[in-house]
A = this chain, B = another copy of it.
Amino acid sequence: MKEHDNLKQHILKHVSFTDDELDEFCQSFKLLKVKKRQFIVQPGFVARHRYYVVQGSFRAYVIGDEGQEHTVQFAVDDWWISDYNSYIFQQPASMFLMALEDSIILQIDYEAEQKLKQGRHVFESYFRILAENTAAYMARRVIINLTKTAEQRYAIFLEGYPDIVGKVPQYALASFLGMTTEYLSKLRKKRVFRKS
C-alpha cells in the first residue's frame, strides 16, 4: 500500500487525520495504472471518479469549434484532477483527460466520496479545502489570462511550476497558456528564459 502513503502525506499537509482516519479514508481509493495516451475521462461519459496522481502526468483538454485543443489543466505527481463539472454534478463530461505518460493513480468514485464526506467532519473538511484550493487557483488563472501578455503568462508559469514545464510537451503548455506552439518556441529562445 505504499502508493497510498503519498496520498496520506498530501492529506496531512492540509488537515489532521488520525491514523485510523487515514486508513478509513484511503480504503475508498483504488490503485490504477494507466498507459500513456489512455483517457480516463472522455466527452459524453460522466466522470465517475476523482483522481489523485501518485506518479505520472495528465492533461485535461477540450476541443474548440475549429478542432483546436485547449489545455484546461495539467496534473503531475501529488496532484488531484478530474473534469469537475462532470464529476461534481454527475453530468456528461466535456473534456478529455489523458495520460501524458505511463502513470499510477488513485481513484475514488462519486458515491464513495459522498459517503466519506457524510461520515466524518474531517473528511468533509479535506474535500472542502481541495475545492477551495481549486477554486482559488482557477480564479488566479482567469485573471492572469485576462491581464497578462503571452510572455508574462509563460514567465509566471515557469516560476510557479518549473517542474511541469520540463515534463509536458510544449504544444500542450502553449495551448494551456493560450498561445501558439510556434510563439512559445520563440519565447523560449529569448535570453530571459535561457537557463544555460
Taking Cβ atoms with an 8 Å cutoff, the residues of A that contact B are 33, 37-40, 42, 44-46, 67
Contacts and interface: CB of A to CB of B under 8 A. Distances in A.
A44 B51 CA distance: 14
Contacts of A33: 67
* Secondary structure call for the A interface: loop
Nearest to A69: B35
Q: Taking the full assembly, how many copies of this chain does it contain?
A: 2
A9 to B, nearest CB: 27
Contacts of A39: 38-39, 42
A190 to B, nearest CB: 33
Nearest to A38: B42
Nearest to A107: B44
Contacts of A67: 33
A47 B173 CA distance: 32
Contacts of A42: 38-39, 42, 45
Contacts of A37: 37
A42 B39 CA distance: 8
A45 B43 CA distance: 11
A59 to B, nearest CB: 14
11 contacts: A33-B67, A37-B37, A38-B39, A38-B42, A39-B39, A39-B42, A40-B44, A42-B42, A42-B45, A45-B45, A45-B46
Contacts of A44: 40
Contacts of A45: 42, 45-46
A40 B43 CA distance: 9
A2 B33 CA distance: 42
